[in-house]
Amino acid sequence: MTLVDIEVELERRRGVLDLQSIVESAAEFLEDAPAREIIRWAAATFGDRMCLTSSMSDALLIDLVSRVKPGVDVLFIDTGYHFAETIGTRDAVEAVYDVNLINITPSRTVAEQDRDLGPRLHGRNPDLCCFLRKVEPLNRALEPYLAWISGIRRDESPTRTSTKVVEWDAKRQMVKVNPIARWTQEDVDNYIADNGVLINPLHYDNYPSIGCAPCTRRVADGEDARSGRWAGLGKIECGIHL
């Protein structure tokens, strides 16, 4: 390792420590703040080195963030397995909201993955399929940023109950901002209704949580909202938020 390499590595480590310090103070200070105030803090702190991700289940987060930071980068992972309605929602979002939509694709097409790893990997090894088609492409796309905004909430699943409004994403060595972490489903429904937010039409067909088409089914009355995701496979997360 050259002297230049050592200096670069030291500077990187100093940057990481600074970001972690920011996270610790912000998480406490912003815990009870409204979602828009959390977003304003993130926009002021990280500027264009901040983005948000969206699965295009709805445009609630996009609506919130674009009101604070017009032209914000919105990352959408096009897995190759999405419902047509999800792709339609993505296209509508790009047309309606003041955002810079960035379409992310895996390194292999579905056909190439079937050729290399066999067909229907999502049924045989859903964790690997999610990693190849969601986690790895997102990791690559997030590299230029210092912070990313997600729409996860504490009430969505047992794995999300401890979500903080500002967190250190150790896996990606960056800041993760969750401005609606404290929101309930009622809060979500009210915001969508009050602000005319675009919503994926599958929600009206008993799909309260929408992922890839082969791994998402309708949810019956009384079932948990995420019970239609990877049903029967003992899986509740794709890996992006773990």
**99, β-bridge pairs:** 72
Q: Output the six-digit token pair for 178.
A: 């969750």
The yes-or-no answer on residue 215 being catalytic is: no
Q: What angle do CA 35, 38, 40 make, to 5 degrees?
A: 110
> How much of the chain is in helix, strand and coil states, percent to nearest 5?
50, 15, 40
Q: Which helix (H) or strand (E) holds 157?
A: none
CA quadruple 107, 112, 115, 118: dihedral sign: positive
DSSP 48: G
* Residue 118: burial class (beta carbons within 10 Å; 0-12, 13-18, 19+): exposed
> Residues 51, 130, 215, 238: which is the catalytic one?
238
Q: Which residues are catalytic?
A: 238
